[in-house]
Amino acid sequence: MDDTDRALGRAWHDDTAWEFLTRLTEIEDRLGGHPGERRAADLVAEAFADAGAVPEIEPFEMNRWTRGHARLAVTADRDGETVQRTFETIALPYSPAGDVRGELVDVGYGTPGEIEAVGEELAGNVAVASTDTPAEKGRFVHRMEKFGHAVAAGAEAFVFVNHVEGQLPPTGALRFDGEAAVPGVGVSKETGAWLTEYAAMGAEATIEVEAHTDPGESRNVVGRLGPDTEECVVVTAHYDAHDIAEGALDNGCGIATVVAAARILGEMDLDRRVVLAGVGCEEIGLMGSETLADSLPTDRVRAVCNVDGAGRARNLRAYTHGSGRMKDLAERVTDEWGQPLAVTEEPHPYSDHWWFLRAGVPALQLHSQSPAGAERGRGWGHTRADTRDKVEVRDLREHAMLTALLVRELAATDDPGRVDPDTLADQLREADAEAGMRAAGLWPDDWD
């Protein structure tokens, strides 16, 4: 029996991932820059040390957003009678404080075409957009894109409507690391049904947001395993979460998977150094991973494995971000170990691999899906229903083992292939991502 068999055999009996997830989700408010996030960083450092990786805590400056009260009220005329209602709502991170009054304008799923079709109706008014993007609309359109397009069309406020039932207003940052242009709030699917009806009646909405943004500090936790080689493989997962929930799925499962995978990797013979990184502030702008990429010589990072979404559901999904070699490697490893794998090849910039990918580092993002297929959108994520009871222990164990095997293979691969910036830009254009990235402020200036 070799070291891999022994490590995997022990992993079947290892409750580290579940125990870590339990402790992590007991911490209140892990939003970037807040005390709960700092306590979570200490927990990650402790876990890395237990895996044999001496942890270093690396602080960085950021803009801390703090939630206050939010209110949404609607006034409509129904057959000559005035209807006045208020609805439960929550502010979206980096929403500025504000008091906005304007007509409700339903922009459907908030795709560029739908917002363009509304035209001048949005100017000075309130955009109402769903969190969903159905398959017939093409690629999934990110929240920041929907917001950016709405603001560009003149909207004075933005309402984000959950497509998942259960009276669950969604959250999610409006932009990266700084106050947004106009207020934004989230409402439940049930509230959204009313807003669509009222918008058709020409109703007026009042949105009040209390919030503030001020200088703050977050931190990355970095540890190292394996030989002291010049080249390395980076394995990262974010440990922060939105303040309204436990953040078990997003991304407690991911960092728990990395913690458990680190224990397995610590028992394996590795061909190259593996850098473990628990990063902060992913939810409000990928700031921890940007700081991490800036701190490392990316020309000597052979690959990055971003564990954002693994462990949430039964089967593994790999996002290979335009790299055929990453796709082949992931399929080769999972085939060898008899595990199912779904692959998404198109690149996207909305997770912690992005700063490495645009620097030329091939990226593998590990996510997960149910056997019946993945629902488009976040499901329970970014709502108060993102809780530990949604997680299965066996999924954490199996995904930790697969993560370790994939990372070991990345460390052993002689030539994973660098990412050419021009090719990546073309791939993003082909995926119809450029307009949305520009709306979100993510399209690199040197790609113009």
Q: What is the pLDDT of residues 177-191, one digit of tens each?
A: 899 999 999 999 999
- The residue among 188, 206, 203 whose CA lies nearest residue 131 is 188
pLDDT of residue 1: 55
* Dist CA 341 CA 372 (whole Å): 13
pLDDT of residue 71: 98
**CATH architecture entry for 65-214:** 3-Layer(bba) Sandwich (3.50)
pTM summary value: 0.96
Structure-token pair, residue 109: 């799923």
Provide the b/e sequence for 68-79 (b: ≥16 CB within 10 Å). Answer: eebbbebebeee
One DSSP character per residue, 3-19 reads HHHHHHHHHTT--HHHH
Low-confidence residues of the chain, pLDDT below 50? Answer: 372-374
Neighbours of 335 (CB within 10 A): 11
pLDDT of residue 418: 96
Domain ranges in the chain are: 3-64+216-434, 65-214
Q: Which CATH class is domain 3-64+216-434?
A: alpha beta
pLDDT of residue 119: 87
Q: Tell me how many degrees the CA angle 237-271-42 measures, rounded to the nearest 5.
A: 30
3-state SS, one letter per residue, for 339-406: CCEEEECCCCCCCCCHHHHCCCCCEEEEEEECCCCCCCCCCCCCCCCCCHHHCCHHHHHHHHHHHHHH
pLDDT digit string, tens, across residues 92-127: 999 999 999 999 999 999 999 999 999 899 999 999
